Chains A and B, each alone.
Chain A
């Protein structure tokens, strides 16, 4: 190619780049096409075409092929690398984005802004090893901004290099401290505290305390609580308890409602062992802070006998007289002790029998007693008392909530929802009761009514109801509850031998579960902006908390619940794959069925333009995917490697994938964490009797030998005695899943002892076994 045409090509490419930067994607594409016509192998143009295609919405699908072609042609061109980085960032493939941003720098790009994007990518994918380098590179280029110093320090911190983190923070502090303006004060305060945190994390509390003295003296730290809390914490760590106790007293003065301070003060004073001294302490504190709850409540947690009775009476009756609706909730922690429960009951029922004059006191006391009976499992007595309260003052929403709850526990789910709805009618603008009513309809598996109810609080626009808005607003509780409801409806339909209904509900359960996983993915993705923003705002402390939050995002109980349900849907799909046969799914619908289905779509379509409203395609996809990607993708998100749930989930997934050695590891880990967990019994049983025939003998042998180590003498009787002895819902579920005659009797026993609601759940689960 002649020199002249090459330079023309370059200049055209620059024009195209300018258009792209100005978001004139179509125009940019036109120019690139001109270049590519003359030289089809011009790598930067190929790459830019990919990017412009992606953003111009003309042909998103083929965008990636241009990027890969460009990289194949010339991946040593830093412009190509940079464009590839931008493209992969746009499609949220951050690993690839980081790779190509890095390549752009390695190939001699002088554009230092790439380093900023690179460090964002590295933070997002937790590549802490390389992060300090890119942060430092950017800092060297732009040392005039504190944000870049903070970012560099945070990078060292994340990489576990506390010494350098502290050094960087110290340097910028020295450089800047005499040039601060008022608008910098907040950032400065946060950074001082952050530096102190870094020092303390290194474990040198003496130094941390000294630093705390220093920053307090500057008068630049705005967070007074943080200063005191840290000081107390360090003093405790250093064994200077007397001084710590004084700091805790100062903290109590600032906020006498924080129960934690009281406990910490006790520890600082070293009085936790003696209830006599503790009581004296709290009596004294109660006179200082007469309006605070903790000094009155905490003694109830360690007193007993007549002393408990006297103090409990003062506490409870005092609240009931004032008509505090939450009195029972306040004392509920005390119910861990049976004798406490009996004492409290005698106090309150005695009070109830002698109070008629003050109507609200009477009513709230009846409410308290109903809650008491509910809590100790006396449901009919609870119902009786709540009816007394409602008969007396039928205009209080709380009473209906309690009554509904009792009905729910009695497994009268329709009745429960209808009582909740009665309460809702008293105050339609009360979002709490609206939410509760929705949830109760879902528990009663009345999904349509649930959606109708909550639609009073959603943005419905063109939609017939709020279902789409609930997806957009990431209403996790609603999605989880409805997924679980569909799963129950699926089992009920199986019980009724209604295959069509079953498959629809199973598909809908899957759709809801997948929606929640998407919501959580979005949560995780939401961090992206903060890797830069938090540094600029000068909030490194809050940023570190966010990183922690994101690292544990998928280990939260609610997500465990989701994964439990999702794996259940997957396992049901395989167990009842006949449901997805063409006969059920593709049967031609009759006219009235079409109409019914259209109505059903209105109550089922979670996102606009969804071509798989009932999840039939998604279910088929599960059957076709022998790598079980749907669950394997979730496995990698679980970071709490020592949690009970992680072992159970990993076992389920690996067992289906026939990775039996990994399953063995899960059993052993679970055994170490919770030695009597019912799932251990399940796992042992499965590994013994349910291995796939096709696996090599050697694997069978490894599993057999592995089981010998801890379970050599564990026979059916031992399993029953050790792992299936708890009469709880979890054990019942495990036994249902095992579905074996030798456990049938124990299952029946457990169901007998469960409360009616839980027993009902077990019976629903049995319908699909």
Chain B
């Protein structure tokens, strides 16, 4: 019932409609360029959700420590009902593993929802994340360890 697919140049307009935000043309272009890191979720072929993630790259490190889910949004009528969020998360988790990483982060206004998926609140002020600006105002950083 749920299928995931890449963003394309022709359907970037869906991102703002699903998230209710207004990402600029450049930002949308960047999402698309990130390939498998950004995905739409389709419910019976109708686009209902989107996830966008990016690597968390500490300033003084050569390799990333994990992936950060930057955007994860599902239309209210389809949210928390058809497993859309879980599928989007599983996709990001798989990529994380594929890249030999074991941490998935999320910066969210709704920590409870993510705790249900096994995330725990993470202190974003620690040295590792300095200068990365992972968390916008009003959001909390959470982390999930895949190795556990």
Contacts and interface: CB of A to CB of B under 8 A. Distances in A.
A393 B11 contact: no
Given A360-B43, A360-B46, A395-B14, A428 B75 contact: no
B55 interface: no
A713 to B, nearest CB: 64
B47 A395 contact: yes
Contacts of A428: 9-11, 13
Contact of B18 (A392, A395, A425): A395
Given A323-B44, A395-B17, A426 B11 contact: yes
A290 interface: no
A394 B17 contact: yes
A738 B31 CA distance: 61
Contacts of A425: 13
Contacts, number: 43
Contacts of B10: 427-429
Contact of A392 (B13, B17, B47, B77): B77
B78 interface: yes
A396 interface: yes
Contacts of B69: none
Contact of A395 (B8, B9, B46): B46
A377 interface: no
Interface in B23-66: 43-44, 46-48
A359 interface: yes
Contacts of A394: 17-18, 75
Interface residues of A, number: 15
Contacts of A363: 77
A395 B77 contact: no
A425 B43 CA distance: 20
A359 B78 contact: yes
Interface residues of B, number: 17
A429 B44 CA distance: 20
Nearest to B78: A359
B143 to A, nearest CB: 31
Contacts of A359: 43, 77-78, 81
A393 B13 contact: no
A392 B17 CA distance: 11
A352 B46 CA distance: 20
B77 A393 contact: yes
Nearest to A429: B10
Contact of A426 (B17, B43, B44): B17
A477 B31 CA distance: 37
Interface string A364-408: 000000000000000000000000000011111000000000000
Nearest to A423: B13
A394 B50 CA distance: 13
Contacts of B43: 359-360
A428 B8 CA distance: 10
Interface string A504-546: 0000000000000000000000000000000000000000000
B44 A360 contact: yes
Interface in A324-368: 359-360, 362-363
A501 B11 CA distance: 39
Nearest to A390: B17
B112 to A, nearest CB: 23
A426 B46 contact: no
A748 B77 CA distance: 47
Nearest to B50: A395
A445 to B, nearest CB: 25
B116 to A, nearest CB: 22
Contacts of B13: 425-428
Contact of A427 (B11, B18, B44): B11
A425 B25 CA distance: 12
Interface in A400-438: 425-429
Given A359-B77, A359-B78, A426-B17, A396 B11 contact: no
A323 B46 CA distance: 11
**Which residue, A392, A394, A396, has most C-beta atoms of chain B within 10 A?**
A394
A362 B81 CA distance: 15
Contacts of B9: 428
A427 to B, nearest CB: 6
Nearest to A426: B13
Contacts of A323: 44
B98 to A, nearest CB: 28
Contacts of A360: 43-44, 46
B97 to A, nearest CB: 30
A395 B48 contact: yes
A237 B142 CA distance: 80
Given A426-B11, A427-B10, A428-B9, A393 B44 contact: no
B34 to A, nearest CB: 19
Nearest to A357: B81
B75 A393 contact: yes
A396 B11 CA distance: 12
Contacts of A426: 11, 13-14, 17
Contacts of A396: 46
Contacts of B77: 359, 362-363, 392-393
Given A425-B13, A426-B14, A427-B11, A395 B44 contact: no
A360 B43 CA distance: 9
Interface in A675-696: none
B101 to A, nearest CB: 31
Nearest to B16: A425
B40 to A, nearest CB: 9
Interface in B94-117: none
Contacts of B78: 359, 393
Nearest to B18: A395
B79 to A, nearest CB: 10
A448 B69 CA distance: 41
B14 A393 contact: no
A430 to B, nearest CB: 8
Contacts of B44: 323, 360
Contacts of B18: 394-395
**Which residue, B13, B43, B81, has most C-beta atoms of chain A within 10 A?**
B13
**Which residue, A362, A363, A392, A426, has most C-beta atoms of chain B within 10 A?**
A426
Interface of A: 323, 359-360, 362-363, 392-396, 425-429
Interface of B: 8-11, 13-14, 17-18, 43-44, 46-48, 75, 77-78, 81
21 contacts: A323-B44, A359-B77, A360-B44, A360-B46, A362-B77, A393-B46, A393-B75, A394-B75, A395-B48, A395-B75, A396-B46, A426-B11, A426-B14, A426-B17, A427-B10, A427-B11, A427-B13, A428-B9, A428-B10, A428-B11, A429-B10
Given A362-B77, A393-B48, A428-B11, 8 more contacts: A323-B44, A360-B43, A360-B46, A393-B75, A395-B75, A426-B17, A427-B11, A429-B11
Q: Which 10 A-B pairs have the closest CB atoms?
A: A425-B13, A428-B10, A429-B10, A395-B47, A392-B77, A359-B77, A394-B17, A426-B13, A426-B14, A427-B11
